[in-house]
Amino acid sequence: MRIFNFDDQFIPLDEWIQTGVDWLVLNYREFFQVIKVPVEVSLESLEWLFSTLPPFVIILLFAIAAWRYVGKRMAVFTVLSFLLVGYLGLWEETMTTLAMVICSVAFCAIVGIPLGILAGRSDRFEMLLRPFLDAMQTTPAFVYLIPVVMLFSIGTVSGILATIVFALPPIIRLTNLGIRQVHPELIEAALAFGATPWQVLRKVQLPLAMPSVMAGLNQTIMMALSMVVIAALIGAGGLGNPVVQGLNTLEIGLATIGGLSIVLLAMVLDRITQGIAHK
Amino acid sequence: MAQKVKVAVKGLYKIFGPHPKKAMSLLKQGLDKAEIFEKTETTIGVQDASFEIYTGEVFVIMGLSGSGKSTMVRMLNRLIEPTAGQVMIDGEDIISMNNDQLVKMRRKKMSMVFQSFALMPHMTVLQNAAFGLEMDGIDKPTREARALQALAQVGLEAYAASMPNELSGGMQQRVGLARGLAVDPDILLMDEAFSALDPLIRTEMQDELLKLQAKAKRTIVFISHDLDEAMRIGDRIAIMEGGSVVQVGTPEEILQNPVDDYVRAFFRGVDPTNILTAGDIASDTQVTIVITEGQSPRAALQRLIKNDRDFGYVIDSNRRFQGIVSTDSLREIIDLPEQPQLITKAYIKGIVPAHAGDSMQDILPEVVSHPWALPILDDEGAYLGAVSKNLFLRTLQRSDPEEVTDVTA
């Protein structure tokens, strides 16, 4: 049977994609260089901010946030973590990573929350969106790392774009879930009192979906942090650098302190954002 | 009595499912609900409903679950879009309204109270009460003042700053009621509003509603599956079965003339002595004697004998009740030597007439403890008729044929 003859490649999809990306790079590189500008600008301002502020001020700000939203013990943990990272000689890298994470999470929120709302209010849109979200979460980052570099060139911005692709789904999914979890009777009540669809969204659905949206934001932060090492492969810098460098030169110690710093930063950001979500 | 029509429902249909048009044509061919569901997987929610709701009345729509009553009330404010038919409110067809008109109508004309309360959990009691006004774009100080007033009406102004989940079920529904009242609607839709409350609180809320209704008459459409509730608060009741409105009338009318077995079954458990009043059953078949200058005891006696009655009911020319005389008491007066012989002297002592609004329960002791029929007066003291033991028992028998049999005393 010819149909089940799998010895020869019948669909040369790989070649088509190769050709397609080459064509994009050749003709539209300029365009991609332009659309990366907003990401570049926000990232540079954040990096400037974190490198200009004295470490003392940054530690104090995080400690205050930890105290307010979580508690005294978390504030102590935050201070100790930052001090340890500094004493390990990774302060600068930590600030770069912090800037990258905040920048990518901000873009994820700007794009993800509206998409999540749309998905929450339309079954069709949700159905359309789901395969894309699945692909974004499961496609190995290395697959899209190279086209991203080809289009946006090596550097921190490419790292952020790759991070956004990976970290965007949770906030969309959890915003969608939050909107859908609002009790239909509440929507009905709002409509019965003459609410417009926009009022239903703003006065009922969004406030009630907030805890879920915050949980999504928290997940997005964690996923962004987990991309730090991969982003370092394309020259994004930050805490991924010591890890990548350590791997390349078999300096296990260097790789470990890089990894440890990422974990500490993740714990601090996770606890504080969860604390905010529960307030 | 000429009543002003507030809401007129004409030939209203709601068909749920994939093929409403097909179902409609099958309905017109005379197929029933089950057959149509089998053929089209389409459910008939409401079928050819027509009735009128008058200004200022409490109109109860009653039926078992699945009878379409919740669908019906949601078509009155178009939370559910009717498949066919007309809903006229103040002469305006709301089915043909566009979105803007509909939103305006919901904001100004009607509000709704829900079985599950449906309070916004993220808002305070005050913000909840002000919700309708907020949707209408009323500024904060005004809407909060009006919301506070509405909360005061239901006795909850002290809880304005609380969150709904801090309140008991009964209190939460008071907030729901305040939210409905705050917009000062012409029409209040209440969807099983008290059904989720325990019986004691439910009665309390019914009283509350009646009290509010006594102060300011609103048109209230009340959905209920509870007959006692319908009887207590309803001026008129519509009974729904399988999506159709089978009977509309006052509680007394429906109780006395149920249109079919379904309606009768509804009322089987009902004790008619709680619902029917003395005025409902009083009959004007007793001999009445109008007291005038010329009416002598002798003439009165003649009339009683001629009508083969033992007792006569004396009224004045304005039908005001004066007293009861019997053949015996009249004879006593006639036999006395003193002149003039006055009919007033023949009145039987210890007569306590009942009022038209008294329930059968209330008048029972008086009816059974005297040989004469109990006279019933209206609010002005005019004689309406009388209730004899016989009449009382016949009413019981008609309302509940299974329990009272063969009463001919």
Q: What is the pLDDT of residues B51-64, one digit of tens each?
A: 999 999 999 999 88
Token reading at B315: 């009224």
Question: For residue B22, which amino acid is it?
Answer: K
The confidence score (pLDDT) of residue B200 equals 84
- Which residues have C-beta within 8 Å of that of residue A50, sequence separation ≥ 6? A58, A95, A96, A98, A99
Is A42's Cβ below 8 Å from some Cβ in B? no
Q: Which helix (H) or strand (E) holds B93?
A: strand B92-93
User: CA angle B85-B91-B94, nearest 5°?
Assistant: 50
Token reading at B393: 């028992």
Which residue do the tokens 């102060």 mark?
B215
Gap between the Cα atoms of B319 and B344, Å rounded: 16
Chain B residues with CB inside 8 Å of A208's CB? 120-122
Is A279's Cβ below 8 Å from some Cβ in B? no
Chain B segment 18-77 residues within 8 A of A by beta carbon are 77
Cα B87 to its chain centre, rounded Å, is 22
Q: What is the pLDDT of residues A59-91, one digit of tens each?
A: 999 999 999 999 999 999 999 999 999 999 999
pLDDT tens-digit profile, chain B (409 residues): 457 899 999 999 998 888 888 888 888 887 777 788 878 888 888 988 999 999 999 999 998 877 889 999 999 999 999 999 999 999 899 999 999 999 999 999 999 999 999 999 999 999 999 999 999 999 999 999 999 999 998 889 999 999 999 999 889 999 999 999 999 999 999 999 998 888 888 888 898 899 888 888 899 999 998 888 888 899 999 999 888 899 999 988 888 888 888 887 777 666 667 777 888 888 888 888 888 766 788 888 888 888 888 898 988 888 888 889 888 888 888 888 777 777 888 888 888 888 888 888 888 888 888 888 899 988 888 888 898 888 888 777 665 544 433 333 3
**Quick check: B256 and B84 in contact, CB under 8 A?**
no
Burial class, A239, CB count within 10 angstroms (exposed 0-12 / middle 13-18 / buried 19+): buried
Which residue do the tokens 């007959």 mark?
B227
* Cross-chain CB nearest to A193 (options B106, B116, B121): B106
Q: What whole-number percentage of chain B has pLDDT above 70?
A: 94
Q: pTM, whole model, 2 decimals? A: 0.74
Dump the DSSP string for A133-192. HHHHHHS-HHHHHHHHHHHH-SSHHHHHHHHHHHHHHHHHHHHHHHHHHS-HHHHHHHHH
Q: Which of A1-10, A49-58, B49-58, B264-273 has the lowest mean pLDDT?
A: B264-273
**Residue from B103, B127, B133, B146 to probe the interface with A (highest A Cβ count within 10 Å):** B103
Chain A segment 207-266 residues within 8 A of B by beta carbon are 207-208
**Quick check: A234 and A159 in contact, CB under 8 A?**
yes
Is A123's Cβ below 8 Å from some Cβ in B? no
Chain B residues with CB inside 8 Å of A189's CB? 112, 114, 118-120, 131
Token reading at A111: 């794009």
User: CA angle A168-A171-A174, nearest 5°?
Assistant: 140
Chains A–B, number of C-beta pairs less than 8 Å apart? 56
- Closest approach of B245 to chain A, Cα-based (Å): 24
For residue A60, the tally of other CB atoms under 10 A from its CB is 15
